[in-house]
Amino acid sequence: EREREMAVCVPVPSSPSPATITAAHSALLSVSMERRGDLASVLPFLPLILRSSSLFWPPQTLEALRALSLGPDVSRVDSGEVLFDAILDLRHSLGLSGEPLSPKASEGFATFFDEWQLKTPEDSRMWFGEVVPWLARLLLRLPSLLEAHYRDSDRIFGTGKGGLRILGQQEAGTVFLGQELIAALLACSLFCLFPDADRGENHLPTINFVHLFAGFHPNGKLSQEAKIKCLIHYFERLCSDMPTGFVSFERKVLSLEHSSQSISYPDDVFWKKSVVPLCSFKVSLSGLIEDQQYEALEVDFANEYLGGGALYRGCVQEEIRFMINPELIAGMFFLPSMQKNEAIEIVGAERFSKYTGYASSFRYAGDYKDNRTVDSLGRRRTRIVAIDALDNAWMGQYKHECLVRETNKAFCGFFDQSKHECSLKAAQEGEFRKIDFTHNIVIVDNEAHYNPPVVSDNCTNVKMSFSSAPENERATNGSSAENSSSEQCQVSESSNLEESIGVATGNWGCGAFGGDPELKSIIQWLAASQAIRPFILYYTFREEALQRLEQWRPSYPVNAGNTMSTVRARCSLHTRG
């Protein structure tokens, strides 16, 4: 295929030799690599050099990686302590000695690999004799993997449109990465090979694993050990079976300026005038977002810096997700922190680990086989959206500006550009049907279900009650309560789930962030409805307040505008004390 490309793009003799074709290909590549804006943006943050229009490891680094790739008989790397020394040597060869690693990292590597993880000679032989040399060989291929990535990206998506680059703040766009390239980037993270010096001033999070190991010590939290185990398992899996799919990373931006070409950041007037009907809402008293089976958009309760404390000591919802789906970490390399009008959507990240617990009780629980289907771009149908809530909100969250900010943040994460353009046209033409949400919650197998939307041309002021269904209306034997109104035509929930992608979420911005779970649930419902998502699956994580949703019993008209007004009125009661 490459030779065919050269025959078209580069003049060659009528009977070219292989050497001539190779030279022609190099000439074409030299022009593209030297002039690439995408590569230029990430090159200062990569451990590679661009010379003669090709990417290279520095000579000393290349020699060290080659030795490491030959196994412990040559490299002498047969323990965690020696592995850390080898990492220091690699960093020195890259000129990174001026960015010293935490002294505690050395202890963390030695403790994890020599005392905790590799408890038998067979474990040690596997890691140092097979996995570490394989990682070194993968790193040796990083320059060629990147060059192939840029060529393929240009061919598939157009020049500079899908290639690896710094997707800066207020820069909407998507990066598509192969799983093998992601593995090579994460191998750089494990060996702490990324330069750190300029990341902070460019609003980029830490990407090396140094703090992860520095936070691990014998008397520390077992959750830190579990996090590292998830990542080590990821590398062990890939050593024997490298996946060939793709993962996309999209920075979504609501324009702060009004534009007919993009969706603008909604103001108060926008929300007041919205006539979009509320979508279906389903509450699950148990279960986990990542286990949902409806191909929904799965919400990452994110920090403004993607990944949050994943590579430090953090171990709550976002950090756990980044451990069981390690390919998410790759986004931390090139995605600066999010601003108020931004969100990040990642599609295709494979899950590799099972787990139990949460926070300090988090534990690695073995291998996980991800059976999600694959789309036409080679991505697993796992859609994760990172949205960062206001931190330390507490009473401030009830203020009008905070309410608008949080609703817009969720809306940014949930909206789909193409779908929204259609919805705006429909709204202008008055094509929205009013929807009746009068049904109460129905209890089925320890789950509380809001009955799906019911089409009704006569609905104007219907109410949404958060109260549980009366005893005589509750489902029995796994069947939901029947709808007593024969005049209403109930929409099939299963067909809706098949036709469009909803949102799977939970107590976003709550817990340590101080958010009101009931308020946050309404905000996300509003945002999902405005984004024309057909449903929300809301996981309460056994949050007591959300198991008493009957305390919120406002009148809910069918459109988002009046709902926002109702929420604002209730928030005003809080701010007045």
Name the amino acid, one letter, at 226.
Answer: A
Q: Residue 191 burial (CB < 10 Å; 0-12/13-18/19+)?
A: buried
Residue type, 322: F
Label residue 206 left, alpha or beta by phi (over 0 means left) and psi (-120 to 50 means alpha).
beta
Count CB atoms within 10 A of the CB of residue 395. Answer: 12
Phi, psi values for residue 176, rounded to 5°: -110, 125
* Cα(402)–Cα(249) distance, integer angstroms: 27
Which residues lie closer than 8 Å to 320 by C-beta, 6 or more apart? 355, 358, 362
Residues 6+ apart with CB under 8 A from 442: 448, 449, 451, 469, 473, 474, 475, 480, 481
| Residues annotated catalytic, as ranges | 300, 318-319
Q: Are 80 and 113 in contact (CB under 8 A)?
A: yes
Q: Nearest CA to 326 among 465, 420, 232, 442?
A: 232
Residues 6+ apart with CB under 8 A from 507: 301, 515, 517, 520, 521, 540, 541, 543, 546
Q: What is the DSSP string of 302-318?
A: E-SSTTTTTTTT--SHH
Can you give 186-242 as a three-state secondary structure string?
HHHHHCCCCCCCCCHHHCCCCCCCHHHHHCCCCCCCHHHHHHHHHHHHHHHHHHHCC
Query: Which tokens is 79 given?
Result: 């323990």
- Both tokens of residue 380? 């697993």
Q: Tell me how crowded residue 356 is: count the other CB atoms within 10 A of its CB.
A: 11
Report strand pairing: 353-356 vs 435-436.
Answer: unpaired
What is the spatial distance between Cα 164 and Cα 388, in angstroms, rounded to a whole number? 24
Structure tokens at 151: 């060529």
Scanning 241-283, the segments in alpha helix (DSSP H) are 268-273
The CA-atom distances, in angstroms, between 303 and each of 104, 164, 249, 503 are: 25, 22, 16, 19
Answer for the pair 247, 182: CB distance below 8 angstroms, yes or no.
yes
* DSSP codes joined into one string, 5-56: HHHHHS---SS--HHHHHHHHHHHHHHHHHH-HHHHHHGGGSS-EEETTEEE
To 10 degrees, what angle do helices 179-190 and 132-140 make? 120
Whole-number Å distance between alpha carbons of 433 and 419: 17
Ligand-binding annotation for 303, yes or no, is yes
Burial (0-12, 13-18, 19+ Cβ within 10 Å), 437: buried
Place of tokens 């946050």: 520
**Is 507 among the annotated ligand-binding positions?**
no
Q: Which of 381, 194, 166 is nearest to 292 (CA)?
A: 381
Cα separation, 490 vs 205, in Å, equals: 47
317 is in an annotated binding site: yes
Extract the annotated binding site for substrate.
303, 317, 358
